[in-house]
Amino acid sequence: MADYYEVLGVERTASDEEIKKAYRKMSRKYHPDIAGPEFEDKFKEVNNAYQVLSDSDKRRMYDSGVDPNDPNAGGYGAQGFDMGDMGDIFGQFFGGAFGGGSQGPVPRTQPGRDALAGMSIDLKTAVFGGTEHVTINTFVLCPQCGGSGSADSKKPSTCPDCQGRGTRQKVVRTMLGQMMTTAPCERCEGHGTIITHPCQTCMGHGRVRSQREVGVNVPAGIADNSRLRLSNQGEVGEGGGAAGDLYIDIRVKSDKRFTREGDDLHCWVQVPMSWAVLGHDVDIDTFDGEETIAIPAGCQPEQTVTVRGLGVARMRRNEERGDLIAHVNVLIPTKLNDDERGLIERFAQSHDSGAGRIAQSSKPTVGKKGFFSKLKSALG
């Protein structure tokens, strides 16, 4: 017997809400449209597990060692005797004194399932937001019959076998002998009605699988690995039922110029040694266009220059953005001609002649900490 608790990844003491949450997670993970057609059997296994564990009567049967989904479980299969049939059985023998009875025909119109898709956006879209499009493969309303499932637009007629009840009585063998119980009508599949002339496009289901493009409004400031929910953009249900929701997993692609840290953007600029010593204005690219920043005189390697308000939009604060932080990388020349070497030597004699013994420390003593140094210190 399959371990349905293990299939959903929950404990045997899990509550109904925990089982429902686990089912939603696993069904999205193994949905054939997302994981691929090779996971269709796994997806069915997840649904079978939820069908049992979400029903209190079936769960009690399963916990007692009987699988309600097993047609060979001594008459306790999905189409045979189960706890839900007890009222029907006693009703046949005792005039319904024990309650129960048929739950009625299954509606042809069913709500659709949720769908999941992934989408990659560039960093600039994450900064400002915008509209992106994603193509999904899911069930849509049948264009031929408009969801009715009928080729001639006629309403379904009453099933002559079950007289509209959706179920038929049948005799099953149990440990107590032969007993009368009820099962879904095979002719109408439990609906109680029959579509006389089914639509040839959807074969009477009212929906077909198709690719379609969906516009997604990406909010400014969205983070990598975020999930967006689009109401009623998922699968259309059987019989043209209301569509489920569409969930979009957002991945933010890496950018060649900027690295994002929270609501701030970081970039690294290389400047000649003379610019760092004397100071200099530098033009850098930003998502808002070209921006001039001032390298201060005496700038040290990995010193930062901050430009306020040119970072990522803060989602919880309207019209506010983080900062753009430029890290200065000072280029030290490796090849000098005689004149250049002479200049450096004269500078050293004038500026560094009194340096004496060098200072030694276990921590930086000159200049500001760089971005990665700060990160390393923060992480211990």
The DSSP secondary structure of 117-147, one letter per residue, reads: EEEEE-HHHHHH-EEEEEEEEEEEE-TTTTT
Strand ranges for the chain from DSSP E: 115-121, 130-141, 157-158, 167-174, 177-184, 193-194, 207-218, 226-230, 246-252, 259-261, 264-272, 280-286, 289-295, 304-307, 324-331
* Burial call 97-132: b when 16+ CB within 10 Å, e when fewer: eeebeeeebbebebebbbbbbebebebebbbebeeb
Q: Is 267 annotated as a binding residue?
A: no
Q: 43, exposed or middle or buried, with CB in 10 Å at 0-12, 13-18, 19+?
A: buried
Distance in angstroms (rounded) separating the CA atoms of residues 107 and 149: 13
Q: Is residue 299 annotated as involved in ligand binding?
A: no
Query: What's the count of helices (H) and strands (E) in the chain, helices before strands?
Result: 10, 15
Give the torsion through C-alpha atoms of 305, 310, 312, 313, to 10 deg: 140
Residues flagged as binding site for Zn(2+): 142, 145, 159, 162, 185, 188, 199, 202
Residues flagged as binding site: 142, 145, 159, 162, 185, 188, 199, 202
